[in-house]
Amino acid sequence: MGTRGSALALAQSGLTARALEALTPGLTVETVVIKTSGDRFSAGAPDAPVAPSGGAKGLFVKEIEEAMLEGGIDFAVHSSKDLPARLAAGTLIAAYPEREDPRDAFVAEGGAALEALPAGARVATSSLRRIAQLRLARPDLKTVVMRGNVDTRLRKLGEGACEGLLLAAAGLRRLGKAGEVPHVLVPVDVILPAPAQGALALQAREGDAKTVELLAKLDHAATRLAVELERALLGALGGDCATPFGALASPAGKAVELRAFLSEEDGSRPRRLSRRCDDLSRRDAFAADFAAALRG
């Protein structure tokens, strides 16, 4: 099993390994940690690659996909939101385990809610998506760009670098911090999450039937339905775009409700749109029409 080496990536891949071993008596999953271009980019390393014009999303999976195609690993565990719209040729997503809460979490001293912050308070995030929507909800707040892992950001909050943080709730939960870090979940009509946020993706080689069959034991149908529709919209918008973009699909019987947010990079021209996909056999056409309407 290939994974990035961050605390969150190791927690997520560890959960996956234990689940597979529990379902398959005698199975042992070996963890192979792979440092990606995205890790070097986020850390500001001297040898870090320059982010492509579409953003750094694909940099977090590039070396892992290469290791899989070369046979160094059998499968990989990714945060689905890190995946580019197009997977590496010769690979597929064998399973989307059941999704964690996709919402963002607001973390502040004492567990204060976002709406309780005084005017001029500083909220930290490195996400253009969050910044654009935060400015719509609370134009009186200041945004502070903050990178680093969850522990680094929590430490900076404690040191007074900001009055609040926006993080993915799923990350707090998978790291076991949800009970110890006071936080408030942000309603999706205030800040819509990134497409596929909260979902894991188990990627394998096409043609490796044994591994694909093994991973498929963890596939969650409702999660796959929602995540694939969100990713279809991402692809229809050009995939991996650096513009502020959020999307969340909610299965409703045999149909799926899809909500999206899009703005220009500076937060101008914000627009929200919600549509219902009743015929999932036309998912890609639906996503293309949705994208066209969202672009305005």
User: Known catalytic residues?
Assistant: 82
Residue 220: count of CB within 10 angstroms of its CB: 16
Give, as one character, the DSSP assignment of residue 203.
E
Cα 28 versus chain centre, distance? 28
**Which DSSP helix (H) or strand (E) runs through 233?**
helix 221-236
In a 13 Å sphere around the CA of 200, the CA atoms on its Cβ side amount to 27
Q: What is the distance between the alpha carbons of residues 287 and 293, in angstroms, rounded to a whole number?
A: 10
- Rounded Cα distance between 190 and 136, Å, is 8
Going from the C-alpha of 61 to that of each of 1, 34, 145, 205, the distances in angstroms are 13, 9, 24, 14
Whether 79 contacts 39, CB under 8 Å: no
Asked if 238 and 39 touch (Cβ cutoff 8 Å), the reply is no
Distance CA(243)–CA(245), nearest Å, equals: 6
- Residues whose CB is less than 8 angstroms from the CB of residue 221 and which lie 6 or more positions away in sequence, other chains included: none
- Token pair 């399973």 in the structure block, residue: 95
Structure tokens belonging to residue 158: 């404690």
Quote the Cα angle for 124-128-130, to 5°. Answer: 60
Distance between CA atoms of 231 and 203, rounded to whole angstroms? 15
Tokens 């596939």 belong to 219
